[in-house]
Amino acid sequence: MSWLMTRTDRSLQEIESDDWGDPASATTRLSAEALRLRRTPVGDLSTEDLRLLIGQQIGLDTLIPIAARTLAVDPLTEGDLYPGDLLGAVLRVDPGFWARHPALRARIQEIVGRLPDPTPRELGPGLDRFLGRD
């Protein structure tokens, strides 16, 4: 994973060697945006871009470590929705991902432990799922 830290000039499409198609051919605005973002160098992705892609379960092996670095600085980093929306997307990632990446899960759990009290209510369902309380 250390190579990723120096290869933020590559897009998900390049990293994964997988072209999902032209954004202009997408049938929905969300699909078009996801396809466009897959072609954007990961170092150029905004917090909102990360939130959107992670929320769609896209590029997790690449994007979760990037999001974790951002969240380590501020767990309530905000895209376009609400304070902590990036963390909310990360918390809703499929549990199978966390089973395959226990070190990343531990890193996110440490970040969760630093959340202010009270925790923003929008994070509640994702927190419960991530912590196994649902």
pLDDT digits (tens, 9 = 90+) for 1-58: 443 444 788 999 999 888 888 888 888 999 999 999 999 999 999 999 999 999 999 9
Question: For residue 44, what are the domain limits?
Answer: 2-130
Determine the pLDDT at residue 68. 96
Residues 63-120 have pLDDT tens digits of 999 999 999 999 999 988 899 999 999 999 999 999 999 999 999 999 999 998 888 8
* Triad 26, 90, 116: Cα angle to 5°: 140
pTM for the whole structure? 0.89
SS3 106: helix
The pLDDT value recorded for residue 1 is 43
pLDDT for residue 6: 46
Which pLDDT score, from 0 to 100, does residue 51 have?
A: 97
Q: What is the model's pLDDT at position 134?
A: 62
Structural domain count of the chain: 1
- Give me the pLDDT at residue 2, please: 42
Distant-in-sequence, close-in-space partners of 125: CB < 8 Å, separation ≥ 6: 92, 134
Q: How many CB atoms lie under 10 A from the CB of residue 132? A: 7
DSSP-assigned states of every residue in 25-83: G-SSHHHHHHHHHHTSBGGG--HHHHHHHHHTT-SHHHHHHHHHHHHHH-TT---SSST
